[in-house]
Structure 1
Amino acid sequence: MPLNIPPAPAAAERSLSAALQSTTVPSPHPLFLNRGALRPVLPLPVHRLAPVLDPAVPATSRLTGWRFLLENGGRAVGAAETMLTADGWAFSHFGEGPYIASTERAVRRAEALTGSYQPRLLSIPELYMLTLWLHTDPAADPAEGAPRADDILVPLAPAPPGITADHPVRVDALLPLLADRLRIAAPAG
């Protein structure tokens, strides 16, 4: 298997476990009412891409959290995210929607690629976009690093107009398109 899924920090896992056991944490969907049946799987570090206005400048990102798919009966029914705070890891929120199935599809397809990768999620909030980021250094610290030119991004569905969802593309090929989209989305100053 070419994917080296890094372990989530123990404190992030503990905060998620506490949220799953809590009766005071709000749930977005009735599927989450029986939280005892939910099992966290596929922990992925979530990085936020810094705005890319010039594709000639190397991309940068920062770790913002860890996202876990929540499985019930062998199928992913939602997600839970933890966030990094000044005091350490804390539960952020439960989620649902199309990114759950899209993440599963992207990971399955990534497992069939040649080469070894460390899967991560890369968020581009200005474009309402989330990608599976296949980092070409499978032994890297999952909290560190930035997208490298030879890394692969798989835009998750739904992707912004003009960007093909579920299609793996190298960072150096997608960055110019992202830069164009971010320039258009940037407020006039």
Structure 2
Amino acid sequence: MNTTTGSALLLDAEALYGELLRGVRALLQPDTRLAGITSGGAWLVERLQRDLGLAGKPGVLSSALHRDDFAQRGMAASAQTQLDFDVNGADILVLDDVLYTGRTVRAVLNELFDYGRPARVRLAVLVDRGGRQLPIAADFAAARVALPASQILALARGADGSFQFAVKEA
């Protein structure tokens, strides 16, 4: 699924999505609600909701208002939280594309608790790249890879809905 050729990391995002689907299916309880972190996690949760045949709309969580680097990043126009379910007492599975420092997940948890008090929150990610700065861990990761801090791993979605990864220099 992932290989290193020279200095190029090759990740098959579609194959990893299949692993994520399997992992999320194993984590689901009858009352579990899915919520994806904008933007990659939101793309994943949209497709997972459909592929798992779940009723209703998945949630979308934005980290924008609770980021510790808000002054540098500002507010993204598309980043708005949308939760069409009651957070209070809910079992929520948060999805993201890449887990790195843990700061985005921390911000999203703060955002989630602005909407209520869930009974349980778990995290599933497509890729865990290590490099944590906060004590946050995924309950499921489709892959674990090591990248230098100078590189960014970004999920992209094609016009047909397929996923691809790109590794960029920071």
Q: TM-score, normalization: structure 1?
A: 0.23
Q: TM-score, normalization: structure 2?
A: 0.25
Task: Return the index of the structure with the highest Cα Rg.
Answer: 1
